[in-house]
Amino acid sequence: MLSRRTVPSLCLHRSRLAKARTLSSRASGILSSLDIPTSAEIPGVYDGQWKGTGDIMESVCPTTGEVLARVQSATPTELHVALEKSKEAYHYLRTIPAPRRGELLRQIREALAAKRDALGALVSLEMGKIKTEGIGEVQEFVDICDYAVGLSRMMNGRVVASERPGHTILEVPNPLGVVGVLTAFNFPVAVYGWNFSLSFAAGNATLWKPSPSTPLCSIAVTKIVASVLERNGLPGAVSALVTGGKDVGEAVVESRDVNLVSFTGSEAVGRVVGKAVQSRFGKSILELGGNNAAIVMPDADLSLAVPAVFFGAVGTAGQRCTSTRRLYLHRDIAPKFLDALQKLYATVRVGDPLTNGTLLGPLHTRAAVGIYSDAVQRLRETGAEILTGGLRYEEGTLRQGNFVQPTIAVPKSTDPKDTIWSTETFAPILNTAVFDDLAQAIEFNNDVPQGLSSSLWTRDLRNVGKWIGPEGSDTGIVNVNVGTSGAEIGAAFGGNKSTGWGRESGGDAWKQYVRWSACTINFSDAAPLAQGVEFSA
Ligand code: NAD
């Protein structure tokens, strides 16, 4: 039973709380620009009304350690009510023609664009990614709204040729119901955006359970979306929000009122979520961990490949699902490549992600620093050579935040099944190994449990054909002369194998947010059976 207490993993300390009463101007300016109160506790539940009397969650700035806010999460009763209201909201939304829903999305797009920079700054403040990436994340939401506006006029079914005279078969998409969206900390705006936009265009209500460590981003987004819904007389629960921890997440996943669970997070939690949804025959989209490799052939243009690997491995402090974690270098260019890469690593500007020019912000939590340190220690214990990095930044104000050095290691073992190679460590650690031919590199690439993103650097068309073909990379995102991270919204995004086989955003992803019916219509004066079956008395 949930009580009115603090979520333990987020450790409420009285002294830090006291600091929250006098919020820094750095933080208060951003919160005020998004209409988020800078004092008192903030309601973290929205179902048409703002409320929340459950666990208190603290939002902690990863750069300074400052407590940004205390958020009141959902009790089981509040979650139940939010689900009921979401269902009612869905019943209303499904009667609105899809192009009209598109017009509402267009207004939401405008409202988001108007707050893009402020919301981007909040992403940097609360999650820790650098400013241009924070703004880029909001831009992604804006872009997917544009996409969904167009889609609202193109969510077409099909007419299928019938074998029976005077019959026609239609494949018809209809709205699905309530879509539960559970999100990870590292994309606290965009992942909801991908789901909400398609789901809304399809005629569903969404109920969002964000990461417990980024509640402010979810509150700010919901306020913007809700303002448009309310202005247009729509029930707010079309985009409900329930903040909370694991128990709130579990309750959403287990609820039979949630027709589709779209889960983004770790493999470990995804495994639990996938089984729970399957056990009640619900639908799920799973977007789980990645363990992405870049492969550099001897003919690659290193002036492009080196900066791309640098961004892939160091960008977002290695906290993208698509971050480059494994680097396979052809023997002929390995020394030259590593030399150039280390030179770039030496130039990285570390600091406050809100400061222009910073390239490396903090890890999101103190716990993540521990995971980073453990991974580095394991590398050392197993005989890896650490080419650069491996330590926390302790100088000056960096000590207050979760700053770690981007690390390049050459593990002793090259066996992809070795834990070092087969596990996603959500931190800026790049493991590298040498290969002799493309077939070997592809084997390295594929022989891990995850299958999200991969990139090949080459100018040779024969390599490209092999890489994208049946003997090639088995990941959901297969790039050529493009890094592993930084996908556009137009193509379906997602991974294979233990990354969960989910697809979101562009392509055919929208087809998961509807229920499909095959409708056979007989407009003849006879009622023949299929396959010529006779059954007359
Ligand atoms: P996480 O798995 O710890 O948490 C994700 C969400 O699940 C959170 O909202 C959390 O509160 C909730 N949750 C936790 N336990 C639950 C349970 N038993 N039942 C239901 N919900 C539960 O992930 P994280 O640390 O926030 O995010 C990092 C991970 O997400 C990385 O593995 C990263 O690769 C992955 N990720 C994947 C993608 C993708 O598209 N493939 C995108 C972003 C992040």
Q: How would you write the pLDDT of the chain (537 residues) with one tens digit per residue?
A: 333 444 433 434 333 443 445 899 999 999 999 999 998 899 999 999 999 999 999 999 999 999 999 999 999 999 999 999 999 999 999 999 999 999 999 999 999 999 999 999 999 999 999 999 999 999 999 999 999 999 999 999 999 999 999 999 999 999 999 999 999 999 999 999 999 999 999 999 999 999 999 999 999 999 999 999 999 999 999 999 999 999 999 999 999 999 999 999 999 999 999 999 999 999 999 999 999 999 999 999 999 999 999 999 999 999 999 999 999 999 999 999 999 999 999 999 999 999 999 999 999 999 999 999 999 999 999 999 999 999 999 999 999 999 999 999 999 999 999 999 999 999 999 999 999 999 999 999 999 999 999 999 999 999 999 999 999 999 999 999 999 998 999 999 999 999 999 999 999 999 999 999 999 999 999 999 999 999 998
- Which residue CA neighbors atom 43 of ligand 1 most closely? 321
Q: How far is the CA of 464 from the centre of ligand 1 (A)?
A: 33
Residue 287 CA to ligand 1 centre (angstroms) = 9
Measured distance CA(92)–CA(99) in Å, rounded: 15
CA of 371 to the centre of ligand 1 (A): 16
Locate the ligand 1 atom nearest the alpha carbon of residue 272 and give its number.
18
Q: How far apart are CA 327 and CA 340, in angstroms?
A: 14
d(CA 200, CA 386): 48
Ligand 1 centre from 266 Cα, in Å?
A: 4
Q: What is the CA radius of gyration of the chain?
A: 25
Ligand 1 atom closest to Cα of residue 185? 26
Residues paired with 158 in a beta bridge: 171
Which of 133, 218, 254, 264 to mutate for ligand 1's pocket (most ligand atoms within 8 Å of CB)?
264
**Residue-wise over 388-405: b if at least 16 C-beta within 10 A, else e?**
bbbebbeeeebeebbbbb
> Quick count: other Cβ atoms within 10 Å of Cβ 347?
8
Quick check: 193 and 141 in contact, CB under 8 A?
yes
Taking the centre of ligand 1 as the mean of its atom positions, its distance from the CA of residue 494, in whole angstroms, is: 14
Residue nearest to atom 14 of ligand 1 (CA): 246
CA of 290, closest atom in ligand 1 = 34
Ligand 1 binding pocket mutation candidate from 55, 241, 267, 321 (most atoms within 8 A of CB): 321
Edge-first strand listing for the sheet containing 67-72 = 41-43, 67-72, 56-60
pLDDT value of residue 98? 98
Check residue 398 and give its pLDDT. 97
* pLDDT at residue 22 in the model: 81
Spacing, Cα 248 to ligand 1 middle (Å): 13
Burial of 331 (0-12, 13-18, 19+ CB in 10 A): exposed
User: Which residues line the pocket of ligand 1, CB cutoff 6 A?
Assistant: 182-187, 209, 211-212, 245-246, 249-250, 253, 264-266, 269, 272-273, 287-290, 321, 424, 426, 452, 495, 499
- CA 179 to chain CA centroid, Å, is 16
Ligand 1 atom with the smallest distance to the CA of 184 is 26
Contacts of 332 (CB under 8 A, 6+ apart): 298
**What is the position in ligand 1's atom list of the atom closest to the CA of 270?**
2
Residues involved in catalysis = 287, 321
pLDDT reported for residue 21: 52
d(CA 257, CA 206): 11
Helix 334-346 to helix 302-314 angle (10° resolution) is 50
Residue labelled with tokens 């092999």: 466
| The residue to which tokens 């073909």 are assigned | 469
Tell me 184's DSSP state: -
Identify which of 208, 246, 489 to mutate to test ligand 1's pocket (most ligand atoms within 8 A of the CB). Answer: 246
Distance CA 409, CA 396 (A): 27
Which of 194, 258, 266 should be mutated for ligand 1, with most atoms under 8 A from CB?
Answer: 266
* Residue 298 CA, ligand 1 centroid: distance in Å: 37
In sequence order, what are the residues at sequence separation of 6 or more whose Cβ sits closer than 8 angstroms to the Cβ of residue 30?
A: 118, 121, 122, 125
